[in-house]
A = this chain, B = another copy of it.
Amino acid sequence: MKKTTGTGDTSGTNATSGSGDIGRSLELLWGTGDRPSRGPKPGLTLDRIVATAVGIADAEGMDAVSMRRLSTELGTGTMSLYRYVPGKAELLDLMLDRVQGEPLDAVGTREPVDWRAAVESMARTHLGLLRRHPWLLKINQARTVLGPSAVRGLEVSLAGIKGMGLRDAELISVIIAVQSFVVGIARMEAESDEAAKETGLSHEDFWDGQRPYLERAMASGEFPLMAALSEDAFSTGFDHFEFGLRRLIDGFETLVAERAGE
């Protein structure tokens, strides 16, 4: 995704730092944004660019976010964007950190009542975020571990589960387990929606379309257990998120009780 040009030399023009992209990303993320003293005032702001990009992604998905499209939306030339952002990858990093800040504004770092409630809230908040911005799933999150919003989010999460009485590495692991589960669920949902939108087929039409193939397979006798499943096993009435979350919390409970008993 990085070397699309083929001519190489992605970080040669940037005189400020020879380190590459990630340093630039961090600088933009944490940076103060002080302008140079000489020259005309910029007609845009980083904030406006990122906000607009997020708007496009929310409305039409990540694929719609291109530098040309973004510049059109902003009423500027395409290349002007590169005055503010070194490349598209860095723009994505900024988009990521921006929306990650959303839930934090509402929550604040209030005292946690109970770690179970905290875990639940963490999962629900995260899932809500991913549902609101499904394009988040298409951005490499490993890059921006250390944006301001990510750090704040981690702090809030830690505050919630501190009371579990686990070792530090285990607390991190709890967070990772919950986030992993949530991401997995969100991914399923997002992909389902995406597929529905792309093919123009609704959920029901989709399943109806599969039915003949499925039925032939079931009739073959090769899949006895699947054939024996009741009709509503795949029904949309069952909330797989709630189910999984409950199990996960129960699992944590077991560990916490175990530790307390020793």
Instruction: Type the 1/0 row for A170-191, where 1 means its CB is closer than 8 Å to any CB of B.
Output: 1111101101111111011001
Q: Is A35 an interface residue (CB 8 A)?
A: no
Task: Kindly list chain B residues whose C-beta atoms are within 8 Å of the C-beta of A225.
Answer: 155, 158-159, 162
Question: Given A168-B230, A217-B148, does the pair A142, B240 have CB atoms closer than 8 Å?
Answer: no
For window 208-247 of A, CB contacts with B under 8 Å fall at: 209-210, 213-214, 216-217, 222-226, 229-230, 232-235, 237-238, 240, 243-244, 246-247
Q: Are A177 and B240 in contact (CB under 8 A)?
A: yes
**Count of chain copies:** 2
Q: Are B209 and A26 in contact (CB under 8 A)?
A: yes
For A254, give the chain B residue with the smallest CB separation: B250
Q: Is A145 an interface residue (CB 8 A)?
A: yes
Q: Are A146 and B232 in contact (CB under 8 A)?
A: no
**A238 CB, nearest partner CB in chain B, Å:** 4
**A57 CB, nearest partner CB in chain B, Å:** 14
Contact of A176 among B142, B151, B244 (CB under 8 A): B244
For A214, give the chain B residue with the smallest CB separation: B146
**A198 CB, nearest partner CB in chain B, Å:** 5
Interface size class of A (residues with CB under 8 A): 35 or more
**A108 CB, nearest partner CB in chain B, Å:** 13
For A4, give the chain B residue with the smallest CB separation: B63
What's the Cα separation between A201 and B39 when bound, in Å?
A: 35
Q: Is A7 an interface residue (CB 8 A)?
A: no
**A144 CB, nearest partner CB in chain B, Å:** 9
Question: Given A152-B223, A180-B185, does the pair A20, B191 have CB atoms closer than 8 Å?
Answer: no
Task: Kindly list chain B residues whose C-beta atoms are within 8 Å of the C-beta of A247.
Answer: 174, 177, 248, 251-252, 254-255
For A218, give the chain B residue with the smallest CB separation: B151
Q: Is A16 an interface residue (CB 8 A)?
A: no
**A161 CB, nearest partner CB in chain B, Å:** 10
Q: Are A155 and B226 in contact (CB under 8 A)?
A: yes
Beyond A155-B225, A177-B243, A183-B183, 8 extra complex contacts between A and B, CB < 8 Å: A20-B201, A142-B188, A143-B195, A146-B214, A155-B222, A173-B243, A174-B243, A247-B255
